[in-house]
Structure 1
Amino acid sequence: MSHPTPYPVRLADEITRQLGQLADHLSRLPPPQAAQVIARILDPDAGVLGGITHLVSTGSVFAKDQAERGALPAEVWLALGRASNELHGITLDLDEHQETLQRVGTQPVTTAAKTPAPVPLVVRRRR
């Protein structure tokens, strides 16, 4: 007799499926709407990235407990802890751009407005 898939596993699968759908929609949205969606995704408190960061952090706490009991190798806990820390740092880095994305997403579309000039991309990393 097969065991039914536990609800949390089904939930994780459904969230993964919906994230794929969101990415598909995002790739087809006009720029103002795409900016609005990205701003919501990046919201550190209520956005997808904040939620995933919290989820990985919770997984790290679980893995630490299991590693202390000998049920998981310590490397699993360390990897989840590093991932959690990195995601937190990324969330902080992106949070500073959320307001700009929100502003771009709420600007009225004007056809007579001057077309924005492309700018060279400069890679800067601040922490």
Structure 2
Amino acid sequence: MSHPTPYPVRLADEITRQLRQLAEHLTQLPPHHATQVIARVLDPDDGLLGGVTHLVATGSAFAKDQAERGTLPPEVWLALGRASNELDAIGGDLDEHRATLGRVAAQPATTSAKPPAPAPLVVRRHR
């Protein structure tokens, strides 16, 4: 007799499925609505990125405990810790653009005949 899949595993699978679904919707949304979705995803308090960062940090704490007990290699804990730190840094990098995303997302969708002028893309790295 097979063991039923624990609820947290099913929950992780469902969240993964929904993330794929959200990404698919994002490719089809009008720019105004897509910006709203991105702004919500990047919200540091209630957004998806903050939630994933917290989840990885929690996994890192678990892995540290398990590594200290000898049930996981220390490399697993170190890798999860690095991932948590990197996600936090990414969130910090994106935080400077949060106000702009929020402002654009809050504007009503325009139907003007003149489209906005495209901006030249410049790669800048702040570190």
The reply to whether TM is greater than 0.5 is yes
**One-letter identity of the residue aligned with 1:65:** D
| 3-state SS of 1:44 partner | coil
Counterparts of 1:75-94 in structure 2, within 5 Å, are: 75-94=75-94
Does the alignment pair 1:99 with 2:99?
Answer: yes
How far 1:11 moved relative to its partner?
A: 0.4
Q: Which residue of 1 aligns with 2:124?
A: 124
**One-letter identity of the residue aligned with 1:49:** L
How far 1:111 moved relative to its partner?
A: 2.8
Q: Which residue of 2 aligns with 1:53?
A: 53
Q: Determine the C-alpha separation between the residues in 2 that align with 1:112 and 1:21.
A: 31
Q: Which residue of 2 aligns with 1:71?
A: 71
CA RMSD in angstroms comes to 1.1
Q: Deviations over 1:18-52 (max 9, x none)?
A: 10111111111100110011000000110000000
**Gaps spanning 5+ residues in structure 1: where?**
none
Fraction of identical pairs, as percent: 77
Q: Determine the C-alpha separation between the residues in 2 that align with 1:86 and 1:31.
A: 28
**One-letter identity of the residue aligned with 1:38:** I
Instruction: Check the 8 A contact 1:67/1:77 in 2, yes or no.
Output: yes
**Gaps spanning 5+ residues in structure 2: where?**
none
How far 1:59 moved relative to its partner?
A: 0.2
Does the alignment pair 1:10 with 2:24?
Answer: no
**One-letter identity of the residue aligned with 1:106:** A
- Aligned positions, number: 127
Instruction: Check the 8 A contact 1:31/1:105 in 2, yes or no.
Output: no
How far 1:58 moved relative to its partner?
A: 0.2
More divergent stretch after superposition (113-122 vs 70-79): 113-122
**TM-score for the superposition, normalised by structure 2:** 0.95
More divergent stretch after superposition (69-78 vs 93-102): 93-102
Deviation beyond 3 Å, 4+ runs, structure 1: none
